[in-house]
Amino acid sequence: MRSKVVLITVGLLVVVLVLMSTIRADISHDAAAPIGIPYDQELDFTVGGSHAGAFAYYSIDYPGDGRIITMELDLAPGDPVAMMGAGFNVYGPQGYFIGSGMKSPDKADRKEFEWSDYNPTPWLIQVYNYLDNVPVAFHLEVSGLPGPQPTRAPVMSPAEAMTFSMASGGLIGDRGGNYHYYEVDSNGNGSAVTLHLYHDPDNHLVSQAFGLNVYAPEGGVLAANGSHEVMFDLEDSGTYLVQVYNYLDGQNVNYVLTKD
């Protein structure tokens, strides 16, 4: 039963971590006042067509760190005529042309664009429709942007440690370390304890900076440590201190901690 609860909890945490959201977008028809896209998003909007061109403008702040930004624009209608008369362009400062959305080889009603650079600068996304009196519904997906910065939680002290059989939470990292604390009571009978730490994201980079330390009651001696599973014996009477740590600066890691 415990394993089922843990699996359900971990599944919920994965859902919570999903950053990408689909929203019904506002539209700006003014290139000088585009709608900002602050992080990865999917936007739905409609642009009425005109022979002279009808436009919607969006912008991103490119961080200049060489990351690849991907833009995908789905059109409805997405027939060959619509694909010729509607699409999008991307511009840098002072109207510098970066590129245009090209027909996707995988989806007939999609135009896509990828680009990377080392100049931190705003990019202007111009979505156009030259189909006279034919409104086109667009679905724009922008990915590769930095995520929203999480709010840092107050640092927890060992004095605030909690007893547990199963615990869960989110821990935002810091270069100097950020911690959650838990307690395991011991009568010194030498019984074995196994702690399991499930976390998301879970990869080798995260595991190098996110994990567990267990300290013995006397002198704060390190009794065990690890990133996923920790085993130790309750050889000393008193309270063992379990420290969940995160040294990933600014990155939130959701976790479930169980005790056998």
The tokens describing 67, both together, are 């990351």
Specify the amino acid at residue 167.
Answer: A
Same domain, 154 and 251: yes
3-state percent breakdown (helix, strand, coil) of the chain, nearest 5: 15, 50, 35
Q: Are residues 211 and 255 in the same domain?
A: yes
Q: What is the DSSP string of 199-221?
A: EES-SHHHHHHEEEEEE-TTTT-
Chain centroid to Cα 255, Å, comes to 15
Give the predicted TM-score (pTM) of the model. 0.53
| Co-location of 184 and 110 in the same domain | no
Distance CA 49, CA 77 (A): 12
C-alpha 207/C-alpha 211 separation (Å) is: 7
Measured CA to CA, the distance from residue 240 to residue 192 in angstroms comes to 13
Domain membership of residue 135 as a residue range = 20-143
Distance in angstroms (rounded) separating the CA atoms of residues 128 and 91: 13
pLDDT tens figures, 52-83: 999 999 999 999 989 999 999 999 999 999 99
What's the domain count of the chain? 2
CATH number at residue 133: 2.60.120.380
Query: pLDDT tens digits for 12-53?
Result: 444 433 333 444 568 999 999 999 998 888 999 999 999 999
